[in-house]
Structure 1
Amino acid sequence: MAGTRRTRRRWLIPVAVVVVVVIAALVVYVSPLLHVRSVEVEGTHNLTADEVRDASGVQEGQNLARLDTSAAASGVSRLPWTDSVTVSRSWPSTVRIDVTEHEAVGVLDDGGDPAVVDADGRLFLRGVTPDGVKKITARADDQGAVSAAAGALAAVRQLDQGLYDQVESADAPGANDVLLKFPEGREVYWGSADRAADKAEATRVVLTREGARWNVSNPGLPSVRE
């Protein structure tokens, strides 16, 4: 009899475990308590929360456990302003979408439709001109020049938004030939975008001095440009 009881216990325990797992799975995949009730969107400035929700394809009432977060993120990533996106579950009923947008620093003027350029020199949006961004004059097919001009503008804005606001344009006929133009005909020649933070600081300093044309290609020794 004792042996029979032990035998029953041996097979009853795994059966009980299986039953518990099945019940738990049914609760997760069927229970209305784990359906999507809200979709929270964070990190947007140019995109609206509704645009992000629509692009994600997430609908209220979907089962949260079966939600394809990769597909939702892929949908949002196709929005032009999206640089990166993460979609996650927040149990029991919330989907969270965290968006990082491109940092628009310039609009490329290459004779065609305006193309918005981010801080890394990537062209991510055409046909619009966002408020406050600066004109970049360069060839669209010269990625080095576009990136150099964008890097210069990004460094200036990171240092001093007021200084960035004064920039009229960034001209870049080549990657090593960036020129920032300011009101009243003032110009600051950067050369390349190497040591961008130092050159941004040098730009801020020389614009407090007399002189219309400056060279900060060596930011430790800025000079009047002939």
Structure 2
Amino acid sequence: MSSVRLGDLDQGRGSARRGGTPRTIARPKRSRGFRIVVALIVAAVLLGGTYGCLYFSPTFTIESVKVTGADHLTNEEMAILAAVPQGTTLLNVDTGAIEDSVVRDAWVESVRVSRLFPNTLEIAVTERKIAAVVDVAADNAKTTQMWAIASDGMWLMEIPARDSELGQSISPQIFEDADAVLHIKDVPFGLTPEVGTYCTDGNVSNALAILDGLSTELAEQVKTVSATDAASTLLTLDNGIEIAFGTAEDIRDKERICLTIMAEHPGTVAYINVRVVDRPTWRAV
């Protein structure tokens, strides 16, 4: 243990001021973290420069566009919707703009655009499906138009004649699906569908809600739906049985009653009324 007098300290300070040997001040060493930050900044600058060069170069020019999930849209229609400019690269392509353009089509429920390096752009489409074909009275009820409608109520398109010019240019899948679904008929005159809009007719919406709520067992037997008004909605099965279903309420209860009546009286039922679910009636052939 040692001690120093205050006078000695003063003398030491004085000698330093008078030209004595100065004390060495240690400089802090650069930390490892600081060196890492510098390295990252340099790497970012190099990567940015490289990306900038590639962005304006033709290195990743889009040479092919791969489309998946588009069964009701032709290649020509998808090319028009996507509208990928000639010479676009995977680095400068505006995928958001392409998605916004494609999803505007009534058939397209959702879309995702992805880059597949080195030269392919992928457009993955999820399409709406035809839930029913609505027989729409037109020309002062003198003619009938066939309109495809999706389960969410979106009007998809008017189904043209197969042998027409338009019929020859659209996807064959449209006719195949339209033939496989049921028809909603007897809709009051005045319905004016428009492609890409949602149906606002209560009678058609009620019919769609019934079809959406039925289980597969009964839904697959329905051939047509008469939608004169919601309360009088009438289902006709492929075996000829008519079901006065009414509004889209208590759907599963109404369905259960119908299936039970048909199972207990096979081959003899012609008509079932379940509009009032707790007072069902039926009539034999």
Partner residue, 2:166: none
Structure 1, gaps ≥5 residues long? none
Partner residue, 2:137: 111
Residue type of the partner of 2:49? V
The separation in 1 between residues aligned to 2:72 and 2:43, in whole angstroms, is: 54
Q: What is the count of residue pairs matched by the alignment?
A: 214
Cα distance per residue 1:16-37 (max 9 Å; x no partner): 743431122322x135442323
Question: TM-score w.r.t. structure 2 length?
Answer: 0.61
Partner residue, 1:151: 209
Residue type of the partner of 2:73? L
Is 2:131 the partner of 1:74? no
Partner residue, 1:126: 158
Partner residue, 1:167: 222
Mean Cα displacement is larger for which, 108-117 or 208-217? 208-217
Could you say if the C-alpha distance between residues 120 and 39 of structure 1 is closer, same or farther in structure 2, counting changes exceeding 3 Å? same
Residue 192 of structure 1 aligns to a residue in which SS? coil
Residue 179 of structure 2 aligns to a residue in which SS? coil
Contact preservation (8 Å) 1:169, 1:180: yes
The separation in 2 between residues aligned to 1:97 and 1:49, in whole angstroms, is: 12
Residue type of the partner of 1:151? A
Question: TM-score w.r.t. structure 1 length?
Answer: 0.74
Residue type of the partner of 1:224? W
Could you say if the C-alpha distance between residues 203 and 56 of structure 1 is closer, same or farther in structure 2, counting changes exceeding 3 Å? farther
Partner residue, 2:22: none
The separation in 1 between residues aligned to 2:120 and 2:256, in whole angstroms, is: 45
Match 1:37 to one of 42, 63, 88: 63
Structure 2, gaps ≥5 residues long? 1-26, 139-144, 161-174, 193-199
Displacement after TM superposition at 1:178 (Å): 1.9
Partner residue, 1:182: 237
Could you say if the C-alpha distance between residues 194 and 70 of structure 1 is closer, same or farther in structure 2, counting changes exceeding 3 Å? farther
Aligned-residue CA RMSD (Å): 3.4
Partner residue, 2:7: none
Q: Which of structures 1 and 2 has the bigger CA Rg?
A: 2
Partner residue, 1:52: 78
Could you say if the C-alpha distance between residues 20 and 124 of structure 1 is closer, same or farther in structure 2, counting changes exceeding 3 Å? closer
Residue 47 of structure 1 aligns to a residue in which SS? coil
Contact preservation (8 Å) 1:169, 1:182: yes
Could you say if the C-alpha distance between residues 63 and 171 of structure 1 is closer, same or farther in structure 2, counting changes exceeding 3 Å? same
The separation in 2 between residues aligned to 1:197 and 1:93, in whole angstroms, is: 52
Contact preservation (8 Å) 1:41, 1:96: yes
Residue 245 of structure 2 aligns to a residue in which SS? strand
Cα distance per residue 1:135-176 (max 9 Å; x no partner): 2122436622111112223444x614xx54543311122233
Could you say if the C-alpha distance between residues 117 and 206 of structure 1 is closer, same or farther in structure 2, counting changes exceeding 3 Å? farther
Could you say if the C-alpha distance between residues 32 and 109 of structure 1 is closer, same or farther in structure 2, counting changes exceeding 3 Å? same
